[in-house]
């Protein structure tokens, strides 16, 4: 978004102080129509996330915690899973914004909302929702593109580097919004008393180096050589090629994992592996990997699929999966080099299985 210029008038500033999400977004958007549209989208998402956070905060008392769709509640109504409910709340919120196209993990196809809208919004409405019952942090991830003249598909099938804005809401002990509009990554926190988000940290940065990695290690036997060797080398600790001891984490909630990395560094890996259905990893490119990569790069980190930068990838299908590795830049660059080591390209030929780049 362009730097702060004058204040748009159609977005209400009433009562907004300089650290409020409303004030900051309106100030940053200036007169640029696409940026103003993106600002309206973020504010609408923030309202939906506020409601969602209150609902989630009531836990099983909220009556909407059925994890399976199609259950009947005591009144005979069909209960929706929270994923579907969150999606419905977000679609309703976006109907009041200049959103032309809406893509979601919960929708088979792209929805058209406002015919002449200037932006296209992709959302993972409730990321990590399998963790709801264990009361672990979950979130809502979003990505905002300018609408393409070539229509709905073209608005999303483009490199993540063309995003106007991206962010996630994390519903944890407190609810926070981590947001980028391409000028750094900022953290806002929801005050449940006033139902408003205020700036908690501007221009956060991920430490370049780390001693912490996150991966679902139960898949070890399915990994391909680059990731398996990288992790073996982490396990080897101070005696191994990384020459230091590592700590390991796995929450199985992408937003929670990302938030930890923003707060104290680290790397996250969800690789492709040999299991059926995991040849391209697990996470979705358009509404998970691309927005997280934008936030991470804006905080000085890096995100790759193995050999390639995530923000350079061009999706060819709406729910396309991608391997995803992100976090502290030095370590992610190292993971990339493991993917480029010719020794690992011939994983079945013992002759070529001697280590090249990393045992020096």
Binding site for ligand F6P (CB under 6 A): 127-128, 130, 216, 252-254, 282-283
Residues in 29-48 at the binding interface with Mn ion, rule: CB under 5 A: none
Distances (CA, A) of 351 to 198, 207, 241, 359: 58, 38, 21, 17
Q: What phi-psi label fits residue 191: left (phi over 0), alpha (psi between -120 and 50 degrees) or beta?
A: beta
Minimum Å gap between C-beta 133 and Mn ion is: 16
Q: Is 199 helix (H, G, I), strand (E, B) or coil?
A: strand
Span near Mn ion by CB under 5 A; candidates 127-135, 168-176, 207-215, 257-265: 127-135
71 contact choice in ligand F6P, Mn ion, none (CB below 5 to 8 Å, kind-dependent): none
190: its two tokens: 């929801």
**132 versus 204: smaller Cβ distance to ligand F6P:** 132
- CB 244, CB 225: distance < 8 Å: no
Options 27-35, 36-44, 126-134, 175-183: segment touching Mn ion (CB under 5 A): 126-134
Exposed/middle/buried for residue 238 (C-beta within 10 Å: 0-12, 13-18, 19+) = exposed
Q: Which residue is nearest to ligand F6P (CB)?
A: 254
CB of 48 to ligand F6P, least distance (A): 19
Closest contact distance (angstroms) between CB of 84 and Mn ion is 14
The entry of ligand F6P, Mn ion, none that residue 20 binds, CB within 5 to 8 Å by partner kind: none
Least Cβ distance, residue 170 to ligand F6P (angstroms) = 11
- Name which of ligand F6P, Mn ion, none residue 67 binds, using a CB cut-off of 5 to 8 Å depending on partner kind: none
| Tokens representing residue 274 in the block | 């040999």
How far out from the chain centre does Cα 253 lie?
10
Which of 348, 316, 329 has the alpha carbon at shortest distance from 266? 329
Binding residues (CB under 5 A) for Mn ion: these are: 124, 127
């Amino acid at each position: 978004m362009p730097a702060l210029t004058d204040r748009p008038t159609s977005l209400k500033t009433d009562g907004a102080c300089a650290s409020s999400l409303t004030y900051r977004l309106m100030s940053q958007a200036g007169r640029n129509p696409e940026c103003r549209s993106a600002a309206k989208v973020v504010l609408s998402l923030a309202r939906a996330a506020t409601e969602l956070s209150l609902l989630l905060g009531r836990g099983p008392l909220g009556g909407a915690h059925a994890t399976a769709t199609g259950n009947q509640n005591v009144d005979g109504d069909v209960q929706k899973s929270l994923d579907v409910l969150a999606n419905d709340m977000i679609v309703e919120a976006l109907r009041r914004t200049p959103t032309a196209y809406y893509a979601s993990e919960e929708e088979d196809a792209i929805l058209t909302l406002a015919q002449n809208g200037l932006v296209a919004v992709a959302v993972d409405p409730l990321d990590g929702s399998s963790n709801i019952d264990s009361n672990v942090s979950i979130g809502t991830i979003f990505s905002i593109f300018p609408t393409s003249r070539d229509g709905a598909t073209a608005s999303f099938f483009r490199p993540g580097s063309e995003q106007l804005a991206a962010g996630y809401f994390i519903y944890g002990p407190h609810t926070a919004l981590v947001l980028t509009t391409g000028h750094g990554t900022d953290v806002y926190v929801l005050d449940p008393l006033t139902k408003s988000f205020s700036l908690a940290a501007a221009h956060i940065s991920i430490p370049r180096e780390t001693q912490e990695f996150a991966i679902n290690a139960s898949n070890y036997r399915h990994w391909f050589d680059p990731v398996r060797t990288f992790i073996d080398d982490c396990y080897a600790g101070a005696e191994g090629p990384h020459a230091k001891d590592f700590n390991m984490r796995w929450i199985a909630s992408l937003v929670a994992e990302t938030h930890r990395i923003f707060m104290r560094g680290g790397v996250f890996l969800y690789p492709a592996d040999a299991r059926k259905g995991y040849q391209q990893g697990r996470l979705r490119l358009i509404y998970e990997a691309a927005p997280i990569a934008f936030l991470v790069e804006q905080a000085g980190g890096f995100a790759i699929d193995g050999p390639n930068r995530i923000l350079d990838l061009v999706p060819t299908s709406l729910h396309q999966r991608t391997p995803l590795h992100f976090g502290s830049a030095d370590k992610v660059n190292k993971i990339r080099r493991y993917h480029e080591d010719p020794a690992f390209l011939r994983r079945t030929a013992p002759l070529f299985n001697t280590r090249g780049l990393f045992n020096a």
